[in-house]
Amino acid sequence: MIMKYDDNITGAVKFGQIMGKAVDYILSRLTFGVDPMDFEPCEMDVQEKEKKAEELVELGRDFLKKGKISTAIPFLIAAHKLVPNDHEIRLTCVYGLCNSPQHFRLLASMDSSFPESFRNDPRLAEVKAATHYLEKDKEGARRYLQSQIQNFTRFRSFAGNLMAGILLFDLNREKAAVYFQWAISIVPDNLEAHICLQRCHESLGQLKEAETEKCIAAFLK
């Protein structure tokens, strides 16, 4: 079933722009095989919603285990929409969103399409700091992350570690490199984090520029 709907997932996430539309599309196709415009979740009774949410979250978790975080997100949000009071499903959604290079910046802007329960979740504090950076307010982001950076503390999310590395890049390349390594340990195939780490190594004299370009070229294959 995963392979059958893979094109639908890719298309919905790529062209939906607003996650709510992508989720509605995927959920309707998985549930009834009908056009999203004809899908009404409210027509499902409580037991049906719980059963479908369980199926969706299991698919999402399987993708998370395989490192396919961005693919997992639509399934997890769909499950959350069906059973919004399920704390475990909500936290799984938050984990996926914080660690997805494709989605954490969207999450940082707190787009209105995200469920209300996500917006004030304390676990998103690291990601919210990205909003300052996106608005070109580096100092604001630095103040937000200052205590953990000063204590050289590892963040729980890909977003937090990547942001810390970017903010430290001009101040302490060695510490910045460690944060980029921590980001890569969470999302191993993210090109942005790899490029940042290689630039740190290059500036510290640990790699020649030719080796950096070779590494990036190999990564793009």
Residues 6+ apart with CB under 8 A from 94: 118, 121, 123, 124
**For residue 28, which of 82, 100, 84 has the smallest C-alpha distance?**
82
What is the tally of structural domains in the chain?
2
Q: Are residue 85 and residue 42 in the same domain, yes or no?
A: yes
The pLDDT of residue 194? 84
Question: Residues 205-219: what's their mean pLDDT?
Answer: 53
Q: Are residue 89 and residue 161 in the same domain, yes or no?
A: no
**Which position has the higher pLDDT, 68 or 148?**
68
Question: Residues 172-183: what's their mean pLDDT?
Answer: 88
Q: Are residue 131 and residue 114 in the same domain, yes or no?
A: no
Q: Which of 92, 118, 144 is the last residue of a domain?
A: 118
CATH number for the domain spanning 202: value is 1.25.40.10
**For residue 72, which of 91, 57, 87 has the smallest C-alpha distance?**
57
| Global confidence as pTM | 0.45
Give Cα 206 to chain centroid, integer Å: 30
Instruction: Kindly state the greatest CA–CA separation across the chain.
Output: 62
Structural domain of 75:
6-118
Q: Which of 118, 150, 181 is the last residue of a domain?
A: 118
**pLDDT above 50 (res 8):** no
Q: Which of 71, 87, 118 is the last residue of a domain?
A: 118
- Domain-embedded: residue 1: no
Query: Euclidean distance between the first and final Cα of the chain, in Å?
Result: 28
- Provide the H-helix boundaries in 83-137: 87-98, 104-108, 116-119, 125-134
pLDDT level of residue 158 (50, 70, 90 thresholds): confident
pLDDT digits (tens, 9 = 90+) for 78-136: 787 788 777 777 777 767 776 666 665 555 444 444 455 555 555 555 555 555 554 55
Q: Are residue 47 and residue 114 in the same domain, yes or no?
A: yes
pLDDT digits (tens, 9 = 90+) for 18-42: 344 444 444 444 444 433 334 445 5
